[in-house]
Amino acid sequence: MSAGFGIGAQVVVRDVSEDDRSPWPDEPSGVIVRAGGSAIAGVWGRAARSRMWWVEFDEPQTDAAGDGPFPSAQVPERYLELAPVVAD
């Protein structure tokens, strides 16, 4: 696994750049609940150009096309950042 991503990781969904926008415009946070694409960990999505993960959002989200709200979604890893650590 790269960059600490895996099941149970707390993440935030973000744009990669102005030209590579996330399908989730509100930058939702959530937790990775399983590998995307299949049951095999670290599966690469052909169209996605990066590893895919299922993220269960903290709150249901509407995608960039206005569909939803969705409680979870398959998200390419390139749009994920590990959530900041919260101090006690």
**Beta-carbon-side half-sphere exposure of residue 53 (alpha carbons within 13 Å):** 26
**Which pLDDT does position 43 carry in this prediction?**
47
Element spanning 70, H or E? strand 70-76
Look up the pTM and report it: 0.79
Read off the pLDDT of residues 15-33 as tens digits, 9 standing for 90 and up.
888 888 899 999 999 999 9
Q: Which residues of the chain have pLDDT under 50?
A: 1, 39-48
**Which pLDDT does position 19 carry in this prediction?**
87
Judged by DSSP in three states, 78 sits in helix
**Locate tokens 């569909």: which residue?**
67
Backbone angles phi, psi at 68, to 5 degrees: 120, -165
Element spanning 44, H or E? strand 44-45
